Structure 1
Amino acid sequence: MARIWTRLHEYLGVPPGRLTFDMVRRATAGKLAETDDLDWKQVLPRTPENGQWNELAKDVAAMANTRGGLIIYGVTDTIDLVGIDPEAVAIQQYEQWIRNHVQPYLPDLEIYPLTDDSTSTSDGARTVLVVDVPASEMAPHFVYGTAQRDKEQMAAVVPYRASDQTAWMPEHQIERAYRDRFARIGRAEEELQHHLELTVQHIAAQTEVPSAWFVAAARPQRPLPRSVRTLDRNDACEVLRKALDRAAAMFPGSAPTDGVLSGMSADVRENPRPGLRRWVCSTLERDRGPEFITELHDDGVVVMAGNVSWVRGRDDLPARGADLTVPEWLVMACCRDFVATVQELQRALRLDSAQQLTASIVAPHGPRALAPTTYDSTFHREGTPPYARRPHTVQAVHTVLSPASEDQEGQTRVTELHTDLMNQFGLAGLG
């Protein structure tokens, strides 16, 4: 997925969006100098000869090991836009070189040409080739190739960008890069767990009735781009309105059910309250009715929680020691609303990073048997299947959502979360 905020966007002062040929033209006209996240090159990548390193693979790995960036072919060392021959571009071959020579693999890399739309091809329209390299959570990336002195000996190095040059990491830098990778992974898991724990603590403090809750959180895998803006109340309302529409259209033909968003009344959903660098919609302050929480954080985090053991039209307390019901259809609706909201916040903040999603079913007031219920359309009744398990604890489940993901991927992620949750009750879920 191409990034929507780059060095060229910053230099030209244009809003986030897809890179265009005109932006390249204006940047070269202004002699925008190379940096650690911008590399101008005149000649298209060539097949290595005489034991040389694959330069494309080396340059891509160097960008990924630093903070990501653009490699643009068709610009001279003096930053003159000369273009390249579009007929000579071999994107599949370039991608194959990168797959063969760069490890770990870079799944979000994008290679694409840009042509001057203001001039027809017959009149000599110029074209450049863009290699858009994301900052990688899996750095350090090694480049593998044949050693110069011995064609049979494979070697591996770790390049990185130092200002406008490419250098090689010494052993101590590689060690630090691995420590940073493991720290990032651990920090991401800790942050998600922190959001979940705070939400559960808030629920326990605000409610008195034993209940089972769907609780979920999502966060960007990479830090937000420099262009990120803070949502105001109108922005937050727009995100929730679009998320509600997206959730309703996600599974066309299925029976409508109320999840975290759709179960809220309009006056709550359309009147988010400020929180700590976030907007919050909550019904916990109300005396009766379903209990839901939705949070949109400035840093791209989404937190959702819903009381799934509450039954519409019935506010009576569960009997002492009774199982807490977990309706399968309501868990699905919560997963649907959660994924749809994550998708819409991605778009509103123009996030160029995948989102890490975590969801679980918890009992904030202490362990209690959780009894799954399903709806029998034949007899028009709901009940717990005799083969179902009644766990006291449900493990958190995880998935990843691509940036600017479309409806089909959103449906797939809903299915994954729902199935992984309901499998723990001995049910098949949506799968």
Structure 2
Amino acid sequence: MVAAAVADELTESDDLDWKEKLPSFARKPGIWNEFAKDVAAMANTRGGLLVYGVSDQIKLVGVDLAAVDRKQMLSAVRNGIQPYISGIDVIELPAPGDGGEDVLVVDVPPSEMAPHFQYGWEDKDKDRVTFNAPYRINDDTFYMPEHQVARAYRERFAHQDAADALLQACLTQTTETVLSESEGLPAWLVIAARLARPVPRMVPAPTRLEAKDTLHKAVRTAGRIKDDFAGPAVLSDVLSNDMRVGLRRWVDSNFLVPDRRGRGRDVMVELHHDGTVTVSAELAHGLPPHDGIPVNTQVLQIVVLEAVALADAFRQHLAADSSLNITATVATVDAGNRLLPFGNGYGQFALIADTRRPPRLLPASTELAPNADDETLRECAHELASGLLHQFGINVHR
């Protein structure tokens, strides 16, 4: 594609920037922050490609891929741009076997967190520190004036409000579903995870087998990384079921179909075609009756970890390069009863002493960044679980 574009003498535009040489990171005014400025400008406009190895005259001159410092490039983005731009891809393109020039491409996604500010030293600004929001018009880069920055912030906040509303609607719908099917007075842990940039509708929906494989992968991941999240897997209760089709989603549960309802803990998983994931688990199963609604705090922590692992595994399957917004809540049929935290001590579950007994819990929310490693998954799950358990007055240690 690069060779064809060069052959056609494709000119630069707001989403294409030809670069003859690899970016320099020598700490000199006007030089070391140039790469950060180019990336921020692309993200603030509509995303695009920085192509290294093509001259201003649109000639394929190539670059030395051995000299590419990927770590330094990503460091410049992380340390020289606020807020952080996620999803940047650095792609090395070796010349074909029949010869030619090597090329480096930096793919910058459009950002819904614009405006992004690039800061550093600028020689043309008399060696003063700059803090500006660059953007592109055709093949030129400019800095946003105040009114344009204000408009970008309004668009960002409007998008965030819309995303929060969609996440809350998903959480509410799932809560209504599980509570309507409840028997007795249970407490439900309900978790919803939604991509900041949902998968477009034209992307093929996952098959039943792919959805099931994703669930298996998530349970294995949670089991491998659980560390201080003590307790057996919970989502494994539905692994033997066949996922059933829903409205643009796959649904796995052990209680929605009466003929398939067992005596174990009620669990439901939904994998939406747009990348949204919901996980629900009943928290009072197996606990002794009490003057209130028992909540198994150990199960709560395990399910939170499994839900975070599932949301990340589903994101990877869909190749969605986007952060995940995750919210968890505890819902009950009767808000008049108080929630009673139970823990596992000396081999049996018992009411945890010296804790608060709230009638309800506020939702806990967090964000899971793209390309999350095991520690990031644990930290995300710990933040969610802590947000709920702290409302009982329980301090969750790491």
Both proteins in one fold, TM over 0.5: yes
Kindly report which structure 2 residues correspond to 1:48-127, keeping only aligned pairs within 5 A, or say none. Answer: 55-86=34-65, 98=77, 102-106=81-85, 109=88, 114-116=93-95, 118=97, 126-127=101-102
Task: Give the equivalent residue in structure 2 for 1:43.
Answer: 21
Given the alignment of the two structures, is residue 296 of structure 1 paired with residue 271 of structure 2, yes or no?
A: yes
Task: Assess, with a 3 A threshold, how the Cα gap between structure 1 residues 227 and 79 changes in structure 2: closer, same or farther.
Answer: farther
**Quick one: distance in 2 between partners of 1:239 and 1:100?**
34
- Report the CA distance shift for 1:325/1:131 in structure 2 as closer, same or farther (over 3 A): same
Whole-angstrom CA distance in 2 between matches of 1:244 and 1:98: 34
The SS at the match of 1:190 is helix
Alignment of 1:29-428 (within 5 A): 34-45=12-23, 55-86=34-65, 98=77, 102-106=81-85, 109=88, 114-116=93-95, 118=97, 126-144=101-119, 151=126, 156-224=131-199, 228-251=203-226, 257-259=232-234, 261-264=235-238, 266-267=240-241, 270=242, 272-282=243-253, 283-286=255-258, 289=263, 290-311=265-286, 318=289, 322-377=291-346, 380-428=347-395
Letter in 1 for 2:342: T
Offset of 1:26 from its aligned partner?
6.6
Q: Deviations over 1:172-225 (max 9, x none)?
A: 332221101111222222222111111122223333522111110111123436
Q: C-alpha displacement at 1:350, in angstroms?
A: 0.8
Cα distance between partner residues in 2 of 1:133 and 1:149: 26
Q: 8 Å contact 1:225–1:351 — kept in the other structure?
A: no
Distance 1:291 1:107 in 2: 37
Counterpart-to-counterpart distance in 1, 2:13 and 2:183:
57
Cα 1:415/1:97, change in 2 over 3 Å: closer
CA contact under 8 A between 2:86 and 2:370: conserved in structure 1? no
Change in Cα spacing, 1:296 to 1:30, as seen in structure 2 (3 Å) is farther
Give a deviation string over 1:397-422, Cα, whole Å, max 9, x none: 22222334333332332333223322
- Give 5+ residue unaligned stretches, structure 2: none
Change in 2 beyond 3 A, CA 1:391/1:32: farther
Unpaired runs of 5+ in structure 1? 1-11, 13-23
CA distance in 2, matches of 1:130, 1:197: 43
Question: Which deviates the most, 42-51 or 176-185?
Answer: 42-51
Q: Specify whether residues 90 and 297 from structure 1 end up closer, same or farther in structure 2 by C-alpha distance, changes over 3 A only.
A: closer
Per the alignment, residue 19 of structure 1 pairs with none
Q: Is the 8 A contact 1:328 1:429 kept in 2?
A: no
Q: Deviations over 1:78-120 (max 9, x none)?
A: 544321245765666656665665433436545575544859x
**TM-score between both structures, scaled by the size of structure 2:** 0.83
Distance 1:96 1:170, change over 3 A: same
Deviates more, 1:189-198 or 1:300-309: 189-198
CA distance in 1, matches of 2:70, 2:127: 28
| Aligned equivalents of 2:136, 2:397: Cα separation in 1 | 46
Q: Secondary structure at the match of 2:326?
A: strand
Judged with a 3 Å threshold, the aligned counterparts in structure 2 of structure 1 residues 145 and 425 are, in CA distance, closer, same or farther, namely closer
- When residues 227 and 430 of structure 1 are mapped into structure 2, their CA distance, relative to the original with a 3 A threshold, is farther
| In structure 2, C-alpha distance between the alignment counterparts of 1:53 and 1:347, rounded to whole Å | 33
**Code of the aligned partner of 1:304:** V
Mapped to 1, the partners of 2:393 and 2:116 lie a distance apart of 41
The one-letter code matched in structure 1 to 2:19 is K
Q: Deviations over 1:366-420 (max 9, x none)?
A: 242111111123xx32101221221222222222223343333323323332233
Partners of 2:212 and 2:66 lie apart in 1 by 48
**What secondary structure is seen at the aligned counterpart in 2 of 1:266?**
coil
CA RMSD, aligned part only?
3.5
Take 1:386 and 1:143, find their aligned partners in 2: how far apart are those partners? 51
CA contact 1:64–1:139 (8 Å) conserved in 2: yes
What secondary structure does 1:183 align onto? helix
Q: Secondary structure at the match of 2:237?
A: coil
Greater Cα offset, 228-237 or 243-252: 243-252
Q: In structure 2, how many angstroms separate the alpha carbons of the residues matched to 1:54 and 1:143? A: 8
Q: CA deviation at 1:424?
A: 2.2
Q: Tell me the percent identity.
A: 38
TM-score normalized by the length of structure 1: 0.78
1:215–1:359: 8 Å Cα contact kept in structure 2?
A: yes
Once the 2 structures are TM-superposed, how far is the Cα of residue 156 of structure 1 from its aligned partner?
4.7
* TM superposition shift of 1:345: 0.6
Deviation larger for 366-375 or 300-309: 366-375
Determine the C-alpha separation between the residues in 2 that align with 1:324 and 1:335.
Answer: 20
Q: CA deviation at 1:154?
A: 5.1
Larger mean Cα displacement after TM superposition, 275-284 or 406-415: 406-415
- Structure 2 SS opposite 1:372: strand
Tell me, yes or no, if the aligned pair for 2:40 and 2:133 is still in contact at 8 Å.
yes
- Partners of 2:128 and 2:371 lie apart in 1 by 42
Q: Deviations over 1:23-46 (max 9, x none)?
A: x55765676664433322112335
Deviation at 1:262, TM superposition (A): 1.4
Shift of 1:311: 1.8
* Closer, same or farther: CA 111–281 of 1 in aligned 2, 3 Å: closer
Structure 1 residues 391 and 353: alpha-carbon distance in aligned structure 2, compared to 1, 3 A threshold:
same
Does the Cα contact within 8 Å between 1:248 and 1:256 map onto a contact in 2?
no
Q: Name the structure 2 match of 1:7.
A: none
How far apart in 2 are the matches of 1:96 and 1:68? 19
Structure 2 CA distance for partners of 1:223 and 1:39, relative to 1, 3 Å = farther
* Aligned amino acid, residue 279 of structure 1: W
Q: What is the CA–CA distance in structure 1 between the aligned matches of 2:116 and 2:82, rounded to whole Å?
A: 5
Equivalent pairs, count: 393
Contact 1:370 1:392 in 2 (8 A): yes
* DSSP 3-state at the match of 1:394: coil
* Cα gap change, 1:307 to 1:96, in 2 (>3 Å): closer
Note the C-alpha offset of 1:253: 10
